Structures are given as C-alpha cells and as structure tokens.
Amino acid sequence: MELAYYSDYAVRLVNSEEPARGKDSLTSVEAVRDLFGVNQSAARRATDADVTRFRSVRARLRAVFDAADSGDETLAVDLLNSLLLEFPVSPQISGHDFRDDDGRPLWHMHLADHPSNATAGYAAIAAMGLAFHLTEYGVDRLGLCEAAPCRNAYLDTSTNRSRRYCSDRCATRANVAAYRARKRLEADRSEKTGRAADSAQRSTASSER
C-alpha cells in the first residue's frame, strides 16, 4: 500500500465535521466504520465507544491542520509528534495483493498497527500518514479550505503549491463570490463617479448663473 494513502485517513476523519456549518457525520459506529474505507477487517473492530474516541482524535488532527494553515510549523509538528507517540505503528515491508508481470511480489511499505481498539489503530495510521506527507512535502502542504464557511482539510499535492480549496466545488463557489464582489465594487464606484459628475455639473451651472 502506498504511504500517501495513509494520509487520507487524517483528512477523512477531520472532514467528518464542519464546525462552521454545525455539521457532524460522526454520530454512530457505522460512521466510524465507513472511515476505514476498504480496510474492513480493521473497521469490524469498531464499537459504540469508538465514536467518542474518534471525535477526540479528530479534534487533535484538526489542530495540526489549523497550526499548519496559520503558518505555525513548530506547533503543527509538536501536535503531530504527540499523536505519533501516543499511537505508534510498526513499518513493515509487504508484498500482499500486488504482483508484477512475472507474479513476483511488488514490495512496498506497510504500516502495521497493534491497537487496543479501533480508534488507536485508525489514529496510528492517520498520524503516520500525515507525518510522511508533512516531511516529504512540507508543513505548508497541509491546508484548510479558504471557501468560507467550509474549512475542510486537504493535502496540497500541486506542483506549485497553489491549492487553496478542498474541492472543485468550493473553488467554483469562491470564484463566483469573488466575481460578484468585484462587480458590486465596480457598480459602487460607477455610482459614486456619477454622483460626483452630477454634483460638478450643478456647481458649474450655479456659478454660470
């Protein structure tokens, strides 16, 4: 499994809540299991108790993204390190599920977790995945969507570090809002210019009389 895949665990968990909109999809054990995606063997370990534990880890992961988004690299790293210490994993070389044309294993790094519960397993993978992404691409590649009130987390993999939104939908919405704001500003300026011209004309007419 590609290590980049693991960083998506963190994004999925953080984005299960939209604080500015008052939305939270993490309300049941089924929602917890859905976060595991294809890793259904790990998902089956989840119980009702994991809902609260997942929410706690989610808050800590969002704090990492908040710190990175505000430019506080040291805080982002410190917060992530605390998660790595609390939820350790064992990197292992694996060849399962992937074969080349000759049927030989395609060796790759795999993160083996040894959790006491589903939350510990998920948190370990999410934190390690995020750590790989941060050290490979930089803290500034951890972002929060600029399309208010979204603030969903995303991982910037663009070549020029230009990503600002979590999705094309938010990018479109933000561009439309910016376009409308420019049009309103232009209309206001035009109106003010018109009033100024009318005032000048009235002043000229009065002086000529």
**pLDDT (tens digit, 9 = 90+) per residue, 63-88?**
999 999 999 999 999 999 999 999 98
If one compares 117 and 199, the residue with the highest pLDDT of the two is: 117
Of 128, 133, 134, 101, which Cα lies nearest the Cα of 112?
A: 128
Q: What residues contact residue 48 under an 8 Å CB cut-off, 6+ apart? A: 28, 29
Q: What is the pTM of this model?
A: 0.78
Least confident of 145-149, 161-165, 195-199: 195-199
pLDDT score of 187 more than 60 = yes
Instruction: Give the range among 72-76, 94-98, 125-129 with minimum mean pLDDT.
Output: 94-98
CB 144 within 8 A of CB 137: no
Structure tokens at 6: 């693991």
Say whether 33 sits in a helix, a strand or coil. helix
> Which of 19-23, 113-117, 173-177: highest mean pLDDT?
19-23
pLDDT at 189 over 50: yes
Q: How confident is the model at residue 1 (pLDDT cuts 50, 70, 90)?
A: very low
